Structures are given as structure tokens and as C-alpha cells.
Amino acid sequence: MTPTTGSRPSLSPPVFLASAAGIALWLLLLVGGSTTLSSCSDFNRALKSDSIPYKMEVAEKFYNKGGYDRAIPLLEELILLRRGTADSEKVGYLHAKAFFLMKDYTLGSYYLSNFTKTFPSSQYAEECAFLNAFCFYKNSPNYELDQTDTRTALDQLQLFMIRYPETTLRDSCNTLMDQLRMKLEVKAYHSAEQYFHMRNYQAASIAFQDFMRVYPNSRYREDAMLRILRADHQLAQNSIESRKEERLREAIRAYRNFADAYPQSVNMDDAERLHKELNDALDQLSKNK
């Protein structure tokens, strides 16, 4: 049988569309590849070139386009080649800031700090001093970990505001410092809490009292005072006879401090229960004498 007209599927449109898509993809790859090859070619030529202006031109081109990994090797050459010249300040600035923009905050801090020491009167000095402090802020870890970078960030931000009292970045500095202080506060609170969970009640009481002295306006103040009461209660109830009366009275003082500070606390029933147990134990101790 001869197939009827129109029964054979038409192949022309799909073939054409596939060919068009293939050509478009090929052109895209060709253009992209050409751009990459061009960038590589510019970079390699600049590295090999003896022309300082050309190196600077290519370094700035990569820097402005976000190609910091390409800009940095060229800028490092230019630091040596332009040392002591009028260009050295800008080269040093671009080099230091490139590390910051790459989010390498450790090397960024090192080079930004060096820049402010080398060019203290530079138009870029204030920016670099702030970014140096900001690098430590970015490197500040979660509160569970060592907080050396957190404390350094606080020191650097405070130093920045002393050096630049008229800075427009003062509000930003204060916001960052508040966040860093909160992290240290949370760290101190949880460190004290660990002693409580380990049932080292004497250490817990001391740690929470230290916390209260350092952070008297903490949002954890109520909980810290209740923890002191609970820790002192446990310590007194399980104390040796020679120290029991003293520790019972210390625990009762902890109750009074809590009750005076938070008379409407949702935890007052628990505090009252502990207070009664302490008074009962003290009365029993007096009867046994």
C-alpha cells in the first residue's frame, strides 16, 4: 500500500530546530571560550611584559571585573616594581583589598593592617583600618569555639573609632560591636551552664556570679540568678556537716537576691520551694546541735 498523503511525519522542522539550537550553543561556547582565552592571554602577556603601565592596566582590569585571583599576582609584582613611587599607595591598596574581596579574611587583615601602617595618611587609610577590623569580625566563630578573633575584632573596632572619631562608620562599628559582645555573653553563659549540667555546683555558682558581674544587664540575668540559687541549694544540701550551715545561709541569700529582683517571676514557685527546703534544713541543723 502506498501511504496516504500526510501520514509520513515531517522531519524538516525538528531537524531545523535542532540545528539552530546547536549553532546557538556552538556560538555561545565560541564566544565564551574566546573571552576566557583572551583573559588568559592578557594575563600571561602582562606577567611576561616589562611594561609597568601595561601590568597596571591589566591588573586594574581584572580587579574591576572581580578577577582578583588574576589581579593579585600582577599587583604583587607591581608592589616591588613601584616601591617608593607615587603609584605604590594605590597598588598596595588594590592588593590588600583584593584579598578582602576574595573573602580571604586572614590574609586580607594582614595586608590591610600593613597598608595602614605603611600609608597612615593615605586617602584609603580609614577604609583599610575599618576593613581590617571587619576581617576579624568575619573570622569570629560560633560562640562554642575559641573567641580570640571576636575579642580582637572588638579591640580593632574600638581602636578604629579612637583613630577616626569623626568617621561616618561609627554606627556600623557600634552595631558590629554589639553583635560581638552578645556572642561573648552567650559564650560566658553557656560555659557557666556546663558546670551546672556536670553537677559541679560550686563551680557553677561561682561562674554564674562572675557572669552577673561582667554582664549585669544581660537578658539572661533572671535565669543566671535562678541557677545560682539552684546550684547553692544543691551544694548546701549535699555539703559536709562542717560547711553545711554556712552554705545553707549562702543559698538563702541567693533566694532573697532572686526574689527581690524578680518578685513576679514565673519561676517564683520553684524558688519558694527551694527556699522552704533550705529553711527546713537549717532548722533541722539547729535542733541537732
pLDDT, average across residues 7-20: 42
Q: What is the pLDDT of residue 39?
A: 62
pLDDT in tens, 209-238: 999 999 999 999 999 999 999 999 999 999
pTM as predicted: 0.78
pLDDT of residue 284: 87
pLDDT at 163: 96
Question: pLDDT over 70 for what percent of the chain?
Answer: 86
Q: Is pLDDT at 99 greater than 80 in this prediction? A: yes
Q: Which pLDDT band, with edges at 50, 70 and 90, does 44 fall under?
A: confident
What average pLDDT score do residues 84-103 get?
A: 95
* Average pLDDT value over all residues in the chain: 88
Give the cell for residue 57. Answer: 592596566
Q: What are phi and psi of 123, to 5 degrees?
A: -65, -20
pLDDT reported for residue 231: 97
Q: What confidence category does residue 287 fall into, taking pLDDT thresholds of 50, 70 and 90?
A: confident
Q: Is the CA virtual torsion 223, 229, 232, 235 positive or negative?
A: negative
pLDDT band at 81 (very low <50, low <70, confident <90, very high): very high
- pLDDT value of position 171: 97
Kindly state the percentage of the chain with pLDDT values over 90.
Answer: 76
Band of pLDDT at residue 196, cut at 50, 70 and 90: very high
Cα–Cα distance measured from residue 158 to residue 164, given in angstroms and rounded to the nearest whole number: 10
| Joined grid coordinates for residue 13 | 522542522
pLDDT at 97 over 70: yes
pLDDT value, residue 38: 55
Secondary structure of residue 240 in the 3-state scheme: coil
**Using an 8 Å Cβ cutoff, are 57 and 65 in contact?**
no
C-alpha grid cell, residue 262 = 524578680
Q: For the chain, give every domain's residue range.
A: 39-102, 105-184, 198-289
Place of cell 562608620: 169
DSSP H helices, the chain, are 12-48, 52-64, 68-81, 88-101, 105-118, 125-139, 148-163, 170-197, 201-214, 221-237, 241-261, 268-288
